[in-house]
Homo-oligomer: A and B are copies of this chain.
């Protein structure tokens, strides 16, 4: 019978622990590695409503990108959203496994999927941190080419391909040819992107001074949203789990959407 340990081992094959950043928390963060698994709910975040959805559906495991526990906890109570989520999981015998920065950095992970979604070609790792056993480089950012086009055309492309409601951006004053991507909060990587010859950078959670820095550096900087730049990996995870464990039912969370809206 398939157990949490089997799933965990498979997830850590896709996104090895050794690829995570030092400050990160990944792997089995709730539950039991010996628990049998017949249903897995996959989602970007292990938020309270995702835990509730898992319980309602009868899952024994949630697999997410963000960790169930990020800052170590001093209590598990229903005073906090994390506490409520954990209590829902535990009461329903659900374990929680995640791959965070290891999945950002792994070949085929968050950023490779983001590059694929945006139809970049000749995709490479920017400043690789190492090489896998198969000789594939890994690291945080990806870059690739698009047919030369005005920024506006590329903005349209990003919005459509990632299904974003809206984008925030600064015009660096250059047409788009070589694009760097970093799902989530990667705007600090803009200097790396420029040094690698990119004219455009797609990431999220960009702050006021970062937009201005990009403008001063002549970089088109696009904030496509944390959710929209990372969520594409969820489908990849679900497919790979499904393929590897045909006896297990794998479902993508239906309740989890970005809570942030534009007006």
Q: Is A211 in contact with chain B by the CB < 8 A criterion?
A: yes
Measured between beta carbons, the chain B residues less than 8 angstroms from A90 are: 76, 86-87, 90-91
Which residue on B lies nearest to A206, using beta carbons?
A: B260
Q: Which of these binds chain B: A14-22, A66-74, A103-111, A128-136?
A: A66-74
Taking the closest CB of chain B, its distance from the CB of A114, in whole angstroms, is: 15
Give A155 to B227 CA distance when docked, in angstroms: 22
Kindly report how many copies of this chain are found in the complex they form together. 6
Taking the closest CB of chain B, its distance from the CB of A219, in whole angstroms, is: 12
Asked if B205 and A208 make an inter-chain contact with CB atoms under 8 angstroms apart, the answer reads yes
Q: Is A112 in contact with chain B by the CB < 8 A criterion?
A: no
Choose among A31, A205, A260, A261 the residue with the greatest number of B CB atoms under 10 Å from its CB.
Answer: A260
Q: Is A170 in contact with chain B by the CB < 8 A criterion?
A: yes
A91's partner among B45, B76, B91, B215 (CB-CB below 8 A) is B91
**A–B pairs, 18, beta carbons within 8 Å:** A25-B75, A29-B76, A29-B77, A32-B77, A32-B78, A34-B78, A48-B216, A76-B90, A167-B262, A168-B260, A168-B261, A168-B263, A170-B259, A171-B259, A204-B208, A208-B260, A212-B259, A262-B262
* Residues of A participating in the B interface, judged by any CB pair closer than 8 Å: 25, 27-34, 45, 47-48, 68-69, 71-79, 81, 86-87, 90-91, 95, 152, 155-156, 159, 166-171, 184-185, 204-208, 211-213, 215-216, 225-227, 259-263
Closest 6 CB pairs of A and B: A72-B72, A208-B226, A81-B216, A90-B90, A167-B263, A32-B78
